[in-house]
Structure 1
């Protein structure tokens, strides 16, 4: 017999159970929203214990690659002997049947979180009142007690798990090992020899910002980084492409790898030689661990979820976001504040996953208003805290984008304007837009890369 009462008679003043059910229904309807939803409203924010249990199960099942439909969720609770604690299968199907459009999931998650914050405010307010009425409380302890309560309120989320914080003694040996044997440090080659010499490759935990005005070649450079990592070095790469679809990216990969004109691919004017070049590269391309997510307006929660899923199934060595201003957020502030939050979240993601994250960014119109069109760091000023959060900032400049008669036509400058802990400089590359390629001026197509050589050249 089902003893769980799911009626709204259980409702308290500070909860919206319909919003909680809407969130759970959307999560069962389409598991792709689970990452974004969980980032806003983790299980502890649900007021009904049954809803909290269902949310926990959905997140765990999705992380394990299991389906999240009502039948699967019910089977999971039956297996654990806990199905009566969530209202049984009938309640799960009731939630599923009333699920809102998945696009509204984060909206309802925001409602759930705000009600949680209100309950937290009431709890802390009650605690402060009780302390104020308690004659045994030492007056000298009041500032610390008050500060602790306010800190808990500011957090507004469940307590994060404790982590082991290393001492200098813990760090010394591993640091020396990394200095003596550089190959133990994970570095992903950039695909451009001179850039590798300057940077030593993309480093684990780094946030790399590639910024330029539109149509300069940001996507081409980033896709080249993905090709180099995945096709040539077997590094599993995730590209979150918010501007171009997966098919368009695939066409560019084929063009770059087979050296077949992109225009010929897009206009279906390939000749026998072109087809032969494509066929010769097919096995190399299709065998690469390169994943392209074309989800529009993807949020940081969904990106994080996708990254964890790919890492669990295939390992993960590089994340690329094209581009940051198109990412979705749940903020109500102005866009500069939103981009600042996104850049901080991307840096956290890089450290959490211990992989480099390359994020593309649009520059403001500063270069176009100057005689010298070359971009500078101040042109990122409208992009929130990208400059502060990034470990590496690369500004792209092409003179022929402004002057087709320029003697430097076909060249692109990669201006390494920021390199935390390393040198900066400008590297001139060949821009082969017709092949969707950015190449080192003096590098052969398949020349091997080693971190030893790159580090030595940079010294």
Structure 2
């Protein structure tokens, strides 16, 4: 009776890395006798790291590619001379081995077929290597002060890379200039429909939010950050029926739900909480509930969330074809760093970098609230500036758009601007800075365009 670690012969499993040295020699021989075989092989092996198991074959392959790229002749003589100049000829077996490679195949017609064999075997070796690395990370996690979430995220990222390679090469981001300018004109003639819809028309025109953007909404406590984020989420999902995931680390889902219902139903928030709505208002609440339930809006109130958790959740939604148009984070400075750093500034910077990476990786808009420090409150003019961002310069550096929030009547109840709410676009990587004024309707948990008042 064999054990699970034994094969049918009674011996342990074969631990030899999968490889086919004959196929490797056939690929190199094909390239040496026919220059046209080079492109056939490169096309198949594109995106594969270390397609050759035999180190000297990898060296010969790289030398052949260098000769081809330089426009020089590629044949057994030039290959031998180049290896000699590099001091590698004796190490790979001398001129006799080059001659052996040439004789390994009668024709170069099947170069792509041999390359396919190498591709499959290289992927299998990569799977083995990735699995071994992850096992070691698991055993050494505590010694390295690593978290299970980070290891799982690393595993998912590595497997995603293997999946991309198995499906046919790298996800190249190189573009010819003619395609770039064509894309610009196509966008001008046919406006893109993936710009995130905002509930404030003037802000939409000044600072359109596009997939890949990290947008930071910053303000002092009680200035309205959560209402801005909820207003965006409500408009995206309920009005435009596009997915939105709100990660609320500061308020519970019940508190978020109360604000959401009050804003959508246009009823007083305090009346909803105190259960003092009149019959007409209660009817509006029930109708709002039905609209909200039909929307693709999700709220997660898990506290102290690290970036890796958001990445895993987005991958799950992507696998189910439910990737949201936006991830909304409330708020950035109370998110959890993946690893403990020397100080909180470094940790917050790493969180900002991680959020920007999420936006680019999943091609969504990531909107994160951020806290401002108290400096602005000690100035005569209470208007905030970029330098007031708390605990981090990395937030400003990584953000495509930074919007500062300000209400003059928060500091002066007798202000002539009572009821006005300022969106101060302080950084706008693809546009100009400006201040957009809206109307504050805090009793309805809403901020609306001035025209709606």
TM-score (norm 1): 0.63
Please identify the structure whose Cα radius of gyration is greater.
2
Q: 1:219 to 1:172 in 2, by over 3 A?
A: same
CA drift at 1:247 = 1.1
Residue by residue, what CA displacement relative to the aligned partner does 1:265-323 show, whole Å, maximum 9, x if unpaired? 11222221221111232321111100001111111000111122223332321110000
CA drift at 1:44 = 5.1
Unaligned stretches of 5+ in structure 2? 7-129, 154-160
Q: How is 1:128-167 mapped onto 2 (pairs within 5 angstroms)?
A: 162-167=170-175
TM-score (norm 2): 0.64
2:381 pairs with 1:372: yes
2:275 pairs with 1:187: no
* Partner Cα distance (2:134, 2:241) in 1: 42
Q: How is 1:83-122 mapped onto 2 (pairs within 5 angstroms)?
A: 107=147
What SS does the aligned partner of 2:418 have? coil
Match of 1:215 in 2: 222
Match of 1:290 in 2: 297
* Partner Cα distance (1:172, 1:44) in 2: 45
Judge which range, 394-403 or 263-272, deviates more: 263-272
Residue by residue, what CA displacement relative to the aligned partner does 1:167-198 show, whole Å, maximum 9, x if unpaired? 3244332232112211x351111110111121
What SS does the aligned partner of 2:246 have? strand
Instruction: Give 1:337's match in structure 2, choosing from 346, 353, 357.
Output: 346
* Partner Cα distance (2:223, 2:349) in 1: 23
Match of 2:370 in 1: 361
* Partner Cα distance (1:299, 1:4) in 2: 38
* Partner Cα distance (1:256, 1:302) in 2: 29
* Partner Cα distance (2:362, 2:316) in 1: 11
2:393 pairs with 1:387: no
2:180 pairs with 1:171: yes
Q: 1:112 to 1:298 in 2, by over 3 A?
A: closer
* Partner Cα distance (1:48, 1:368) in 2: 51
What SS does the aligned partner of 1:349 have? helix
Q: 1:111 to 1:393 in 2, by over 3 A?
A: closer
Match of 2:133 in 1: 45
How many residues matched?
A: 313
Instruction: Give 2:435's match in structure 1, choosing from 426, 430, 444.
Output: 426
What SS does the aligned partner of 2:292 have? helix
* Partner Cα distance (2:150, 2:215) in 1: 30
Q: How is 1:298-313 mapped onto 2 (pairs within 5 angstroms)?
A: 298-313=305-320
Judge which range, 205-214 or 265-274, deviates more: 265-274
Q: Alignment RMSD, CA only?
A: 3.0
User: Which protein has greater RCO, CA pairs closer than 8 Å, 6+ apart?
Assistant: 1
Judge which range, 368-377 or 277-286, deviates more: 277-286
Residues 337, 384 of structure 1: 8 Å contact kept: no
Unaligned stretches of 5+ in structure 1? 6-41, 53-99, 114-157, 445-459
Q: 1:358 to 1:173 in 2, by over 3 A?
A: same
Q: 1:193 to 1:210 in 2, by over 3 A?
A: same
Residues 410, 431 of structure 1: 8 Å contact kept: yes
What SS does the aligned partner of 1:442 have? helix
Q: 1:398 to 1:44 in 2, by over 3 A?
A: farther
Q: How is 1:259-278 mapped onto 2 (pairs within 5 angstroms)?
A: 259-278=266-285
* Partner Cα distance (1:293, 1:112) in 2: 20
2:200 pairs with 1:224: no
* Partner Cα distance (2:241, 2:149) in 1: 38
2:286 pairs with 1:279: yes
